[in-house]
Chains A and B, each alone.
Chain A
Amino acid sequence: MALTRDDVAHLASLARIDLSDAEQDKMLGELGVILDSVALVQQAPTQGVEPMSHPLPLTNVTRPDVRRPSLTSAQALSGAPAQEQQRFSVPRILDED
């Protein structure tokens, strides 16, 4: 199924990226070509094949619940776009209402 421009706008919104109208137009054309090519996977004979999400068999790794050295708050905040009182300062998160 071909993507529409509304689809691209919706996907950009889900991905939290503001795209200009021109960017959306360009993206629509490029994604169409890419999706046509990757749709090839649907022709592979995969009946009864177990999906493989990772090249290694993964097991949960835990460590002892003991304190160990970590970043200081100054180090953790060192790349913050804005900070206040040793905390990250962020824009409004809750809506007015």
Chain B
Amino acid sequence: MTTDLTRRSAAEMASLLSTKEVSSVELTQAHLDRTDAVDGLVHSYLHVDHEGALAQARAVDERRAAGDDLHVLAGVPIAVKDILTTIGLPTTAGSRILEGWIPPYDATVVTRLREAGMPILGKTNLDEFAMGSSTEHSAYGPSRNPWDLERIPGGSGGGSSSVVASFQAPLAIGTDTGGSIRQPAALTGTVGTKPTYGGVSRYGLVALASSLDQAGPCARSVLDTALLHAVIAGHDPLDSTSIDAPVPAVVEAARRADVSGMIVGVIKQLTGEGYQAGVQTRFDEAVALLVDRGATVVEVDCPSFDYALATYYLILPSEASSNLAKFDAMRYGLRVPPAGVDAPSAEQVMAASRDAGFGDEVKRRIILGTYALSSGYYAAYYGQAQKVRRLIADDFARAFATADVLLSPTAPTTAFKLGEKLDDPMAMYRGDVATIPANLAGVPGMSLPSGLADEDGLPTGIQILAPATQDDRLYAVGAALEAALVAQWGAPLLTRAPELTEGELR
């Protein structure tokens, strides 16, 4: 029964809870048991909150018993990426500099989960401050891909993707600065959405690059992703960049699952050369399925996308170098006195603490950002990148004038082996080549499984992009494609993942 419960969809869990066939305590306990059994293998969590999750589950069971009007997902447990603040639960952002920090406030996303009555199972692993594409840059050790434990689960949200793929949680929250929800979803055979920039509050999200960061839902089906999206989206007065407009009808769109009459654009710059053969094949087949379902396919040209990776890796470090200045060892976080200095100054303590507390990738990006913003180089790097960002946004605008949604493979390859790209930052960065343009322009994107690559048997993803604030289109197209693919496969893709046996792999 326990294993069966954790393998249900969130929508099915919600239904079982509403008819009282299962309690939230049973459901939450089933996931905690699963975590006790398999998280030693995949290392999806940095913190598991057994007592807190069960207390929240008991509370929602009591409210249901009392006949309260509950949210549709009330009682369904969830995991949260450890870059969102949580009262009473450690928030490390995957960094030593925040080790042991317990925030005194909740992120708005977390507040909304609590208000919906969703027990929080724990905090998921990530690349330090969400800088990475593999979760190998976590200060607490990498997460692993449930499809092959020798491989990465993607990044930076590898914890949130692998927790969902290994049935430790039906739903998780991720954040996506350059693809950190979508790329891990593709590599683990799960679904993830980066909402429109400003569609979900960033209050309480430890900022990496403020003009790019976006929290969003991770799940195993398009409908489950939509249900979670609807919980966390909407205006928040605590975030001045939050969009003050009604949330798109994402759940209705997922249930509609219709692409008839739609025009889907395949982005010329994000297919073909540089994409693994098995990834490209599954992508082409998925596009053909959409045609079968009544969509028309056109090719769209986005020439400025060729500059997106370079633009991103100037804008992101510039914003990161500014955002991470607050880790100064004064008010919270690690404080390390410099060795051999008597009565050190604040500046010396700051420099020693940041050296001790930040990992290699974080230092690399802060220093790169400091360079890009420095006098004499600003115009050539950061200033120029901002202009190219405009060109990329203009390419999107032109493309959406001819197509309702745009498509590409989510990631150029399937999951690579741990350690394979750690010493080659540019090779790591190229993993985000297809996801980054959406963050630069602020448009929403979704990744869903498109199958397994023939050459290695690993999951591949297809990315759907829509115009800003039209997130519902992702769900209409995603659900239609998912239905067609699952019908073809005979069962959801994750049923083909290897069984994880209990154990420990460190």
Q: Residues of A at under 8 Å CB distance from B?
A: 3, 7-8, 11-20, 23, 26-27, 30-31, 33-35, 37-46, 49-56, 58, 60-61, 63, 71, 75-76, 78-82, 88, 90-93, 95
Contacts and interface: CB of A to CB of B under 8 A. Distances in A.
A63 to B, nearest CB: 7
A50 B162 CA distance: 41
Contacts of A27: 363-364, 367
B345 A95 contact: yes
Nearest to A95: B345
Given A37-B310, A38-B310, A71 B105 contact: yes
B349 A91 contact: yes
A23 B384 CA distance: 29
B337 to A, nearest CB: 8
Contacts of B333: 79, 81
A8 B368 contact: no
8 nearest CB pairs, A to B: A55-B442, A79-B332, A81-B335, A51-B386, A75-B104, A46-B387, A52-B390, A61-B240
B251 interface: no
A51 B307 contact: no
Nearest to B423: A30
B101 to A, nearest CB: 5
Contacts of B331: 79-80, 88
A44 to B, nearest CB: 5
Nearest to B335: A81
B12 to A, nearest CB: 36
A50 B344 CA distance: 46
B211 A53 contact: yes
A51 B383 CA distance: 7
Nearest to A82: B335
Contacts of B387: 44, 46, 49-52
Contact of A93 (B310, B346, B391): B346
B355 interface: yes
Contact of A56 (B198, B338, B363): B198
Contacts of B390: 49-52
Contact of B241 (A34, A41, A46, A56): A56
Contacts of A76: 104
B18 interface: no
A54 B381 contact: no
Nearest to B367: A11
Interface string B343-359: 11111111110110010
A52 B346 CA distance: 36
A46 B346 contact: no
Contacts of B389: 51-53
B330 A90 contact: yes
Contacts of B121: none
Nearest to A20: B355
Nearest to A81: B335
A31 B367 contact: yes
Contacts of B105: 71, 75
Contact of B425 (A34, A61, A79): A34
Given A15-B321, A55-B441, A88 B385 contact: no
Contact of A92 (B309, B345, B425, B440): B345
Interface in B175-220: 197-198, 211
Interface in B430-472: 440-442, 468
A20 B339 CA distance: 12
A78 B345 contact: no
B307 A41 contact: yes
Contact of B338 (A14, A18, A35, A80): A18
B363 A17 contact: yes
A46 B237 contact: no
B366 interface: yes
Contacts of B350: 16
Contacts of B426: 33-34, 37
A23 B352 CA distance: 14
A91 B104 CA distance: 24
Contact of B328 (A16, A23, A44, A55): A16
A44 B388 contact: yes
A16 B351 contact: yes
B275 interface: no
Contacts of A8: 367
B102 A11 contact: no
Which of A54, A60, A63 has the most C-beta atoms of chain B within 10 angstroms of its own C-beta? A54
Contact of A15 (B314, B370, B468): B370
B370 A14 contact: yes
A69 B240 CA distance: 19
Given A11-B371, A92-B343, A63 B311 contact: no
B374 interface: yes
A33 B104 CA distance: 41
B313 A38 contact: yes
Given A16-B347, A51-B386, A92-B344, A44 B363 contact: no
Contact of B237 (A44, A63, A82, A90): A63
B329 interface: yes
B346 A41 contact: no
